[in-house]
Chains A and B, each alone.
Chain A
Amino acid sequence: MVKSLTKGKVWMTAALACAVLLQTACGNGNEGGTASSADPSASATQGASSERVNIELMEVGWVNTPVGDNDPYKKWLDDKFNVNFKLTALPAADLEAKILTRFASQEPPDLIFTYDKNQILKLQSQGVLMEDVTPLLEKLPSINGALDENAKTFTTLDGKMIAIPRPPEPGNWTVMVRKDWLANLGLDIPKTNDELMNVIRKFTTDDPDKNGKADTWGISSAGGGSSLGEIGNFQGMFGQFYGFYIQDNAAAHAVTTGVHKQFLDFVKTLVDEKTIDPDWYTQGWEQRKPKLFGNKIGVAWYPGSIVAEHESLQENKGNYVDVWEAIPMPKGSENGGVRGPSGLVNGMYAISANAAKDPAKLEKIAQLLEGVSYPNDGYWALRWGVGPDGQEVLDLEDGFKFYTEAQDKYRKEYPGAWDYGTWIGTSRDKVLQSTADEPNATGMKQLELDEKAKGFEATKNYNDLLELDPQLVSDITKMTEEFQIKYILGKETDYDKFVANWKKAGGERLLEDAEKQFKAMNLIQ
């Protein structure tokens, strides 16, 4: 009898536990899918917001960490546009898996922001995106007014715009050189590849920092073990180098024009003469910083933020505000002395077909996009917290502005809130972002270097206008990466053989495709 009672208690307890578990499972789950569906039962409990449209944005974020429960940015958006806004920010590597799962399960996000055109093309081929966003552009004057024809062409397929391009950003990366070292050694700003090579040599051998130690290198890179890193931009010394382009009224590529070989010979000389940081190929971007900002490297490819980073790693005493100079790419040939091109667009907005079928939702998306695009109020709110978070953006001279992170408490605690600005951020706002309480010499120098860089000659971007076989492009890119490090290290010497193999592996076919497409676009006569 006692045993039966005990047995009964065990079974009763087990049954209760199962019931609790099932209740938790059913009770804690998402009851209605995602915010992309207007849930009538939810609207009944939302009182004054019962007519709010649910809009979900899925984007490649900068930070991708959680925002808090009392999110002032979401609240501001919801109140301003009368929506129920949901932001999902993911790393680029994860966005595709998430998006494809959501589309396949018929619960797509309403709006997608991505930099990867292939993702958009993949979704478009499945018929799950708004077929043609061209009519929407009329409602987006702030975006449309900043777009050029190339940007629109980039997102056009078979005569229809499959995504709304975000206006391109002018490049602010350029060659940065330690001008204090130049002064110490009595050298001038290098204007040619030979002068640059001489400067790099002297930076390595002649103790440019006058500390009595042989502890400097002329130049470095951060290949991360898989590529040449940012030193690849120095191909611009010898001519155009970005993908496939037009030269002498024909399709061309740096491998076939000789630009690539001249560049490899330049780097090979650096390696042979040991004037480049020995870890240049294997180290990552962050791993290189102690050397760059520890006063070991004299030439770098960087934007104006090199000043702020250098200062912050040297206690911000102001000693390194004026040591870097932005210079144009030294010229190594008649067509050389150029920076690579900027992208044709700075990301794209795609709208799901589901959202497009709902006129009220589509109208709201247009209002939202226009309202948060530069230079409207929504831009300053989401990007810099003016409004939602009580932040201020101060006016400086020449149209520049200043924003300090020092008072930004919410985004200090929840850095993921920065991703409200990822999908709209632009350097056209001319805002200097700083950790200092007020504008200082470091910030002004950064602005100066960036503006200088934007004025240096850059090549046109022809490559991004093309639709080339991605497999062939991948094959020849991989082949090039493998060959160039071997060539630089002296393990391969026959460049002509590489060119022949490159053509055979797909380079020739890609050149022909590029030529056809350039002719179709009337870029080649």
Chain B
Amino acid sequence: MSNGNEKVYQAVSSAIVLGLTLLSAIPLIYVISMSLVNEQEWIDRGGFILWPQNPTLIAYERLFQGTAVLQALSATVVRTVLGTALVLLMTTLAAYVLSKRNLPGRKPMLFFILVTILIGGGLIPTYLVVRDLHLLDSVWALILPGLVDSWSVLVLKQFFENIPGELEESAVIDGAGEVTLMCKIMIPMAAPAMAAIGLFIGVAHWNSWFDALIYLDDSKWHPIQLLIRNMFSSSEIGAQFNNAGQHNAFNPVNRVSAESLKMALVVIGTLPILCVYPFLQKHFMKGMYLGAVKG
């Protein structure tokens, strides 16, 4: 292909990709924009706003006036941090042990862990187990049932197996025990994979709501996603938050539409986890590909 044609091809491809990107971004822009408008602007501009003319944080102020949103956010952060840390710990331990080819009973152990990828306990049996372990109405009901992620065990096991055996041998010769070997040699080398898995687990915990619905009657540990779901299904959300506290004003400039409240809730429920991604990005990209190449 000549240089001229190549340039035209690049220009057209870039234009198409840029167009598709902008199209994909429109819903996100809409969510953020709608969360920043008051009721007056919503009425004046007909309800579909991609760029607020008078941006305001009134929707966020109203949502944080009561305790429900803050409580749900706190519960979600606790669950996500604790859950991710514990899952990583347990998954790493399981993967490291199972990566040892000379481990007695390795194959049956691997089978029992991996079969859970295909077969689950089901809703009712799992609920019965959680109940009989006295975990209902506790944050542990949201964390312990998923403590060992089978898929992550597979990925990490593969990582550990790919680490050259010579490294291990030289560490052992230098006097390293199993724990030192695992903590100071193997885990640092598997850091990219662990970062990727940690991100997947963290996002899964952040987005979970169904387990909270089933296991928690006490709303103290209800996560933000469950609160968002409940509020979205409420027809009274606009009335509730426009009559709160001293903001019982009739002026639409001081009021916020139900649509804006919902969009603000979406932003509150999404932004924190989005902020984590840049910190893990370099590990994430490395982790996605390292395990694919063997030897």
Give chain A's interface residues, CB within 8 Å of chain B: 7, 10, 24-26, 28-31, 33-34, 62-68, 86, 88, 90-94, 97-98, 101, 104-105, 107, 283, 286-291, 293-294, 312-316, 405-406, 412-416, 418, 435
Q: Give 1 or 0 for each of B11-48: 1 = CB within 8 Å of chain A CB.
A: 00000000000000000000000000001001111111
* Cβ of A277 to closest chain B Cβ, rounded Å: 10
> In the complex, which residues of chain B have a beta carbon less than 8 angstroms from the beta carbon of A92?
233
Chain A contacts of B107 at CB under 8 A? none
A316 surroundings in chain B (CB, below 8 A): 250
Expressed in whole angstroms, the minimum distance between the Cβ of B132 and any Cβ of chain A is 9
Query: Which of B47, B68, B141 meets A291, CB within 8 Å?
Result: B47
The complex places the Cα of A238 from the Cα of B214 at a distance, in Å, of 47
Q: Would you call A29 and B140 a contact (CB within 8 A)?
A: yes
Cβ-defined contact, B123 with A25, below 8 A? no
B259 & A65 in contact (Cβ 8 Å cutoff): no
Residues of chain B within 8 A (CB-CB) of A7 are 177, 179
Q: A316 CA to B217 CA in the complex, in Å?
A: 40
Cα separation A67 to B222 with both chains bound (whole Å): 12
Closest A residue to B241 by beta carbon equals: A415
Report the nearest A residue to B221, measured CB to CB: A28
With A105-B128, A313-B39 as contacts: A291 and B258 at CB distance below 8 Å: no
- For this complex, 9 residue pairs linking A to B, each with C-beta atoms less than 8 Å apart, are A28-B140, A30-B218, A33-B131, A65-B219, A92-B233, A97-B210, A289-B257, A290-B45, A316-B250
* A290-B229 contact, Cβ under 8 Å, with A25-B140, A316-B250: no
- Inter-chain contact A29/B135, CB cutoff 8 Å: yes
**A324-B46 Cα distance, complex, nearest whole Å:** 21
CB distance from B233 to the nearest CB of A (A): 4
- Give CA–CA (A62, B230) in the complex, Å: 9
Query: How many Å lie between the Cα of A393 and that of B259 in the bound state?
Result: 31
Residues of B27-85 at the interface with A, using a CB-CB cut-off of 8 Å, are: 39, 42-48, 66-68, 71
Contacts of A101 in B (CB 8 A): 123-124, 127, 214
Chain B, residue nearest A66 (CB):
B219
Number of A-B residue pairs having CB atoms within 8 Å of each other in the complex:
144
Residues of A within 8 A of B48 (CB): 287
The answer to whether B250 and A65 have CB atoms under 8 Å apart is: no
A97 to B128, CA, bound (A): 15
Q: Is the CB of B248 within 8 A of A415?
A: no
Q: Are B137 and A30 in contact (CB under 8 A)?
A: yes
Docked-complex contact A62 and B46, CB < 8 angstroms: no
Question: Does B124 contact A104, Cβ atoms closer than 8 Å?
Answer: yes
Interface residues of B in 238-282 (CB under 8 A from A): 238-240, 243-245, 248, 250-252, 255, 257-259
In the complex, the answer to whether A290 meets B217 with C-beta atoms within 8 Å is no
In the bound complex, residues from chain A placing their C-beta under 8 Å from that of B250 are 312, 315-316, 435
A405–B136 CB distance below 8 A: no
Tell me if B259 and A287 are in contact (CB < 8 A).
Answer: yes
Interface residue from B123, B233, B251 paired with A64 (Cβ < 8 Å): B233
Assuming the contacts A105-B131, A290-B46, asked whether A413 and B244 have C-beta atoms less than 8 A apart, the reply is yes
Distance in angstroms between the alpha carbons of A245 and B52 in the assembled complex: 50
Given contacts A65-B219, A294-B43, 15 further A-B contacts (CB under 8 A): A7-B177, A10-B179, A25-B138, A25-B144, A33-B131, A34-B217, A63-B236, A88-B217, A93-B233, A101-B123, A286-B238, A287-B48, A289-B47, A315-B252, A406-B248
The residues in B between 99 and 146 inclusive whose CB is less than 8 angstroms from any CB of A are: 123-124, 127-128, 131, 133-141, 144
Q: Which 3 A-B pairs have the closest CB atoms?
A: A66-B219, A316-B250, A91-B233
* Least Cβ–Cβ distance between B179 and chain A, in angstroms: 7
Minimum Cβ distance to chain B for residue A101 (Å): 5
Q: Does B95 contact A (CB under 8 A)?
A: no
Bound-state Cα–Cα, A104 to B131, Å: 12
Are A62 and B236 in contact, CB atoms less than 8 angstroms apart? Answer: yes
Inter-subunit contact B235/A97 (CB<8 Å): no
B236 and A415: CB pair below 8 A? yes
The distance in angstroms between the C-alpha atoms of A10 and B220, with both chains bound, is 34
**Cβ of B71: which chain A residues have Cβ within 8 Å of it?**
66
Assembly CA distance A316 to B251 (angstroms): 7
When the two chains form their complex, are residues A91 and B230 in contact, meaning their CB atoms are under 8 A apart? yes
Measured in the bound complex, the distance between the Cα atoms of B220 and A68 in whole Å is: 9
Q: Complex formed: what's the CA distance from A412 to B68 in Å?
A: 12
User: Is B213 engaged at the interface, CB distance under 8 Å to the other chain?
Assistant: yes
Do residues A28 and B139 form an inter-chain contact, with CB atoms below 8 A?
yes
Chain A hits for B240, CB < 8 A: 63, 412, 415
CA distance A416 to B252 in the complex (A): 25
CA distance A26 to B135 in the complex (A): 7
**Chain A: CB-nearest residue to B132:** A105
Q: Are A97 and B230 in contact (CB under 8 A)?
A: no
In the bound complex, CA of A86 to CA of B42 (Å): 39
Q: Hey, which chain A residues are within 8 Å of B191, CB to CB? A: none
Most buried by A among B128, B134, B179, B235: B134
* A468 nearest CB across to chain B (Å): 27
How far is it, in angstroms, between the C-alpha of A230 and the C-alpha of B179 when the chains are bound?
67
Q: Which residue of A has the minimal Cβ distance to B253? A: A315
**By the criterion CB–CB under 8 Å, are B214 and A97 in contact?**
yes
B181 close to A (CB within 8 Å): no
Output the residue of A86, A91, A283, A314 with the most chain B CB within 10 A. Answer: A91
Q: Which of B210, B240, B258 has the most chain A CB within a 10 Å cutoff?
A: B240
Collect the chain A residues with CB atoms within 8 Å of residue B199's CB: none
Residue of A24, A30, A98, A405 with highest tally of chain B CB at under 10 A:
A30
- A291 and B235 alpha carbons, distance in the complex (Å): 19
B162 CB to closest chain A CB (Å) equals 27
Q: State how many angstroms separate the Cβ of A302 from the closest Cβ of chain B.
A: 14
B251 and A24 form a contact (CB under 8 A): no
Query: Smallest Cβ distance from A422 to chain B, in angstroms?
Result: 11
Residues of A within 8 A of B144 (CB): 25
Assembly CA distance A124 to B137 (angstroms): 28
